[in-house]
């Protein structure tokens, strides 16, 4: 009987751990400028956490775009694209990641 209880406890613990490591991932993508030809590709990524869909990070996109501008000495960017992905754990904790790419002219 003790072996069965121990096995049941371990199985429940393993299933609980596996469920806590899984999450839904949502991806939202947008383009804020048109492609106007070539240039050297640059990118930036910023991440932060939110709770219960009530507190979302405020400046992820602005920070990513500012990082793009810092990487381009001329300051002329084209084909700027941002992608927001959100990983959601049971509706309690959200992990937001913004990835921005552009071409520096």
Q: What is the DSSP string of 29-47?
A: EEE-S---S--EEEEEEEE
Contact in structure between 51 and 93 (CB atoms under 8 Å): yes
Distance, first Cα to last Cα, the chain: 72
Closest residue by Cα to residue 49 from 41, 60, 38: 60
pLDDT over 90 percentage in the chain: 14
Evaluate whether residue 49 is within a structural domain.
yes
pLDDT of residue 5: 73
Q: What's the pLDDT tens digit per position in 9-41?
A: 777 776 666 556 556 666 666 666 666 667 899
pLDDT of residue 29: 61
Does residue 85 surpass a pLDDT of 70?
A: yes
Evaluate whether residue 9 is within a structural domain.
no
Does residue 71 surpass a pLDDT of 70?
A: yes
CA pair distance 67, 55, nearest whole angstrom: 23
User: How many folded domains does the chain comprise?
Assistant: 1
Evaluate whether residue 77 is within a structural domain.
yes
Q: 86 lies in which domain range? A: 24-104
């Amino acid at each position: 009987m003790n072996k069965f209880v121990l096995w049941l406890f371990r199985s429940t613990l393993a299933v609980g751990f596996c469920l806590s490591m899984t999450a839904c991932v949502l991806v939202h993508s947008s383009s804020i400028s048109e492609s106007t030809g070539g240039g050297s590709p640059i990118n930036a990524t910023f991440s932060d956490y939110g709770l219960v869909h009530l507190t979302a990070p405020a400046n992820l996109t602005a920070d990513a775009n500012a990082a793009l501008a810092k990487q381009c000495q001329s300051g002329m960017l084209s084909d700027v694209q941002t992608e927001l992905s959100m990983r959601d754990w049971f509706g309690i904790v959200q992990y937001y990641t913004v990835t921005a790419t552009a071409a520096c002219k």
